Amino acid sequence: MSASRPLHVLIAGGGLSGLALAHGLLKDGLTCEVFERDADLSRKTGYMLHMNAFGGEALRRCLPADLFELYLDTSRKPPERGESIVLTDQLDELSAQPHLGPPNEGERRHTGVHRKTLRQILLSRLGDSFRPGAAVVSYSETADGVRVQLADGSTAEGDVLVGADGIRSAVRAQRLPEVRVVDAGIRGLGLYGRTILTPELLEQIPTLLLQGVIIAADTKGARVLLGAFQPRQPVAAAAAATAPDVRLDPVEDYLMVSCSVPPGTVIPPAAEWTAETPAMVRDAMLEAIDGWHPALRAIVAGLDLPSIFGIPFGHVEPGAVWAPSRVTVIGDAAHAMLPTLGMGANLALNDARMLLDRLSAVSRGEAELVPAIGAFEEQMRELVYPFIEMTMQHDRQFGGGALASRGAQETTV
């Protein structure tokens, strides 16, 4: 066995997996630096995250006890049913099935979290280990470590480099250049927003729409996806009670909404959105669901306009098994998948947990570094790759274009 020595871990990307890993490493007595490209952390990336035990147990392992409590306090009150429920456009129930992945069980079941709240919890207490506005451009392996090159021309050195830099990962592009990102094409463009659950709206909608994740579809191919976020405790107040040093923005109860637009509707790329675009998108959504049940129309009509955004979907097409080195990838960088089954963040957090266990064992002198990384990568591939395929099949069932795009629009990044 190797001599015990705390590793210094470089992490590219301060998203969910990179930040969770950083907390775990600090908790276990290792050191790390997280390089996050964005200086402004307010970019819209989604609203409610459905959580299962992959993500929940990873957070329990990685976070300090009080921050994990805060996560529980701010997570969604478990709905009575808590399933994926498929409805017609008139709200007749067609089917229901449990969410994919192992459920979070126990007294305080946690089934969903507001993404920004989770990120704010994860961003707390990292001190100098978190470096916003620092994009990783490339890396080189040295005799006994790794050096990363940052966009501002500076470099940093460590024992290990973890690419947690998302679907367009710079680390993966260099480490596994053969791995392809497949864009899902226009039909895979997700339009998201949220509708605040005001008392007036609550009076208009059946409680079924607050249970689990709702997918309503008509025979013409239009669909609406809903996810209610009603936290156990008001988010900002929970922080004041459980971890007063953590600042959480208040969050009103809401329904996350994703809705189709009529075929042929032109949605401009994010950089070209003007002040009028969100209203245009909402109106197109209402056109797509013309004649639908009034409760669903009221939800879409009530969308908070500034909350609307579009996100092009894609997935990583796994390549051949690779030999391990000091440089590895986790989360979307390793295995981005379509978001429709609510698995990506859970599996990204789980990667952070599995890698943490391996790196901590190395630091304790119980394992050699490169074989330990190889063991993590094998575990990850075995667990995660089947879910990429499942999300593709699910997308096809609900009229998405991802499977068709697989042959037509492969891109290497």
Ligand X SMILES: Cc1cc2nc3c(=O)[nH]c(=O)nc-3n(C[C@H](O)[C@H](O)[C@H](O)COP(=O)(O)OP(=O)(O)OC[C@H]3O[C@@H](n4cnc5c(N)ncnc54)[C@H](O)[C@@H]3O)c2cc1C
Query: Which residues in this chain contact ligand X in the complex, by CB under 6 A?
Result: 12-18, 35-38, 46, 49-50, 135-136, 164-166, 170, 190, 192, 311, 331-333, 339, 342-346, 348
CA distance linking residue 153 with residue 165, whole number of Å: 19
Q: For tokens 């575990």, what's the residue?
A: 379
Contact 385, 367 (CB under 8 A): no
| Nearest approach, Cβ of residue 312 and ligand X (Å) | 9
C-alpha closest to that of 179 among 392, 334, 388: 334
**Minimum CB–partner distance for residue 109 and ligand X (Å):** 16
The dihedral sign for the CA sequence 326, 332, 333, 338: positive
CB of 387 to ligand X, least distance (A): 10
Q: Kindly state the smallest distance separating residue 101's Cβ from ligand X, in Å.
A: 8
Smallest distance, ligand X to C-beta of residue 126, A: 13
Rounded to whole angstroms, how far apart are CA atoms 400 and 394? 9
Distance of CA 310 to the CA centre of its chain: 15
Nearer to ligand X (CB atom), residue 165 or residue 183? 165
DSSP string, 186-252: GGGEEEEEEEE--HHHHHHS-GGGGSSEEEEE-TTS-EEEEEEE-BSS-HHHHHHHH-TT-------
Of 38 and 252, CB closest to ligand X? 38
Q: CA-to-CA distance for 301 and 206, rounded, in angstroms?
A: 16
**Residue of this chain nearest to ligand X (CB atom):** 15
Q: Is 165 helix (H, G, I), strand (E, B) or coil?
A: coil
**Dist. CA 366–CA 199, nearest whole Å:** 57
The least CB distance from residue 59 to ligand X, in Å, is: 12
Looking at the Cβ atoms of 302 and 342, the one nearer to ligand X is 342
Closer CB to ligand X, residue 99 or residue 293? 99
CB of 219 or CB of 411, closer to ligand X: 411
Joined tokens for residue 145: 């470590």
In sequence order, what E strands does 52-144 have? 83-88, 93-98, 112-114, 130-132, 136-142
CB of 219 to ligand X, least distance (A): 25
Q: In whole angstroms, how close is the CB of 397 to ligand X at the nearest point?
A: 18
Backbone angles phi, psi at 124, to 5 degrees: -80, 150
- Cβ-based nearer residue to ligand X, 46 or 234: 46
* Min CB(364)–ligand X separation in Å: 26
**Backbone φ, ψ for residue 372 (5° rounding):** -65, -40
Of residues 257 and 343, the one with the C-beta less far from ligand X: 343
Indicate the Cα dihedral angle 376, 378, 379, 384, nearest 10°: 120
Q: How many CA atoms lie within 13 A of 382 on its CB side?
A: 7
Min dist CB 241 to ligand X, Å, is 26
- Identify which of residues 46 and 262 has a Cβ nearer to ligand X in the complex: 46
Strand order in the sheet with 8-12: 130-132, 31-36, 8-12, 160-163, 327-329
Nearer to ligand X, 43 or 178 (CB): 43
345/402 with CB nearer ligand X = 345
